[in-house]
A and B are shown apart, each in its own frame.
Chain A
Amino acid sequence: MFVEPIVRIESLRVEFPGTDPGRTPNVAVKGLSLSIAPGEVFGFLGPNGAGKTTTMNVLLGFNNATAGNAFLFGVNVREPIARQRIGYLPEQTCYYKFLTAEELLRFYARIFRIPKADVESRITAVLRLVELEHARGRPIRTYSKGMQQRVGLAQALINNPELLILDEPTSGLDPLGRMKVRQIIQRLKAEGKTVFFSSHELGEVETVCDRVAILHEGQLKVEGRVRDLVTRYHGDLENIFLQLIGYSQPAYEPGTHLSSGRQHAA
């Protein structure tokens, strides 16, 4: 039976105007094609500057594709209505800091036209999920970084989205914060939500993802089930990642000074 993918990216190319004297365009994404099925947790990996955030920005309508197409639920991402059933967590926390978590969520609930009768219960449910119920009346500016990240998750979940797009959700968090975010993703996975997230935490990706794609210099290097990749490349995700981006580890000789490269006599 054919299942319509929730995310469909076809031959996506994104160019930015060049800043060099010849104005050569910078190609951020080169002919990327991907699809994500309902209920999948999909990890989007790649070194910094690989084009992950640019791809997400196209899906969210922040950037326009130079060529190719992207669809959410079969609707072209250029249509605002394509974003009705998604939740998005940006990499950096960025919310109106003069608002309390409750006010922020009420504002986003209004944007999604959640019926007034359901707003209160929805706010309580998402704040409970991200363990912020005790701080719902406090201004966001008084929150720690971990708490702000969890407010971000709460706002991404307020419309009970079918697809969550998370841009490095654990970036800059302490181990406890990372664990909490990971637990939330696992809970969402158990609820059957589709999650599309980028991360540098390969161990975390290995734990929670069904499928991964590795992007390097705007090109898709590999895509597949984590299990299959591990079998195919005979190593863990970190080794596969380093291998695919062409990183060769410099030989380390014991006793070598990092600053001078001199070697101590044994």
Chain B
Amino acid sequence: MSPAPTCLPAVSTLLEIPARLARWRGWGNTQAIGSIVLLEMRRRKDFYVLFILTALITLVLGAMNFFNEARIVRYLKEICLLLIWISSLVIAITTTARQIPAEREQRTVFPLLAKPVTRTELLLGKFWGCWQVAGLTLLTFYGFFALVSGAREHQWPLAAYGQALVLHWAMLGIVIAMTLLGSVVFAAPSSTNTIAFLVSAGILMLGRHLNHVALQLNEPLQTLVYAAYYLLPHLEWFDIRNRVIHDWGLVPWWAWSSALLYAAVYTAVFLVGAAAWFRRKTVL
């Protein structure tokens, strides 16, 4: 008799994950706390203001016509995508940075933690809610982008837009987890906002050049900059705006999936750090 294949238990365990997650009490709590973040976003004006601003600027620029050629829309796509990146970063960081400090300041954390909710679940719920907010923001903004560029170009490269959107969302996952860690460490949302913006913008603009910068430095600065290059999450890897603007086609799916895995690892690292810090911190 041949031995039973050893991979089967592993596969069946993997298949059980969704069902186990649904049964896990913490997942229910995480979803419930996340739903409050979503409700808060619906009732605040930040999202609407940023969307209207992006739409207005894009539409005004879209009304221009270069060389009497209505199909030249690259500049329009470039500006629209830049605005989407800026707006989504603003929404993700400001929404996340205020979550934990507001819970403590307004003391809403007390009735919540007096229920069967752990601090880790509270943190995960905040992450889940903020990430959903980021996802909805991107869906709305990219939907608008697809409409505007499609109306001018008369083509709909939806797969490329989908790839860009998902990568963007994964990148925002890292930013949100990092901001959440900051909001646990620093009491004031303003400090967290500033630091998260500086770090995210710094990585996006300079991240890819850090290794070249390191080459020109002396020790021990060189090692430090190299360490930063290898340790910091490379948010710029998730930026495929140029591919979308110039219609360079799809990112290979293996590269796209690897980027998502990379994002998942960094997000998990930041969340574990935030949870460890928050468990030790007094909420009173």
Q: Are A152 and B115 in contact (CB under 8 A)?
A: no
Question: Which of A94, A98, A152, A156 has the most C-beta atoms of chain B within 10 angstroms of its own C-beta?
Answer: A94
8 pairs, CB–CB < 8 Å, chain A vs chain B: A61-B113, A62-B113, A80-B118, A81-B116, A83-B115, A86-B114, A94-B110, A107-B36
Of the listed stretches B2-10, B27-35, B210-218, B239-247, name the one at the interface; the rest are far from the partner chain: B27-35
Query: Which of B115, B118, B284 is in CB contact (< 8 Å) with A108?
Result: B115
Q: How many chain B residues touch the partner (CB < 8 A)?
A: 26
Cβ contacts under 8 Å, B117 to chain A: 80, 111
In the complex, A76 has a CB within 8 A of chain B: no
Report the minimal beta-carbon distance from B102 to chain A, rounded to whole angstroms: 9
Question: Which of B28, B43, B44, B115 has the most C-beta atoms of chain A within 10 angstroms of its own C-beta?
Answer: B115
Instruction: Given A83-B116, A99-B39, check contact A111 B111 (CB 8 Å).
Output: no
Residues of A244-260 contacting chain B, CB below 8 A: none
Q: Are B111 and A94 in contact (CB under 8 A)?
A: yes
Q: How many chain A residues touch the partner (CB < 8 A)?
A: 30
Lowest 8 A-B CB distances belong to which pairs?
A94-B107, A88-B114, A110-B32, A60-B114, A80-B116, A84-B116, A98-B43, A90-B110
In the complex, B152 has a CB within 8 A of chain A: no
**A25 vs B175: C-alpha distance in the bound complex, in angstroms?**
39
Query: Which of B28, B111, B118 is in CB contact (< 8 Å) with A95?
Result: B111
Residues of A130-179 contacting chain B, CB below 8 A: 152, 155-156, 165
CB-defined interface of A40-72 with B at 8 Å, one 1/0 digit per residue?
000000000000000001001111000000000
In the complex, B269 has a CB within 8 A of chain A: no
In the complex, A103 has a CB within 8 A of chain B: yes
CB-defined interface of A87-128 with B at 8 Å, one 1/0 digit per residue?
010101011111100010001101111000000000000000
> Can you add 14 more A-B contacts, CB < 8 Å, to A63-B282, A88-B110?
A62-B283, A81-B116, A83-B116, A90-B110, A94-B106, A94-B111, A96-B108, A97-B106, A107-B35, A108-B115, A111-B117, A113-B25, A113-B28, A155-B111
Query: Which of B31, B35, B40, B283 is in CB contact (< 8 Å) with A98?
Result: B40
Cβ contacts under 8 Å, A152 to chain B: 111
Q: In chain A, what residue has the closest Cβ to B102?
A: A96
Q: Are B32 and A98 in contact (CB under 8 A)?
A: no
Q: Are A92 and B114 in contact (CB under 8 A)?
A: no
Cβ contacts under 8 Å, B29 to chain A: 111
**A163 vs B28: C-alpha distance in the bound complex, in angstroms?**
23
Cβ contacts under 8 Å, B44 to chain A: 98
Q: Are B284 and A63 in contact (CB under 8 A)?
A: yes
Cβ contacts under 8 Å, A96 to chain B: 36, 40, 108
Cβ contacts under 8 Å, B106 to chain A: 94, 97
Q: In chain B, what residue has the closest Cβ to A86?
A: B114
Query: Which of B31, B107, B118 is in CB contact (< 8 Å) with A90?
Result: B107
**A86 vs B110: C-alpha distance in the bound complex, in angstroms?**
14
Query: Which of A57, A98, A111, A165 is in CB contact (< 8 Å) with B116?
Result: A111
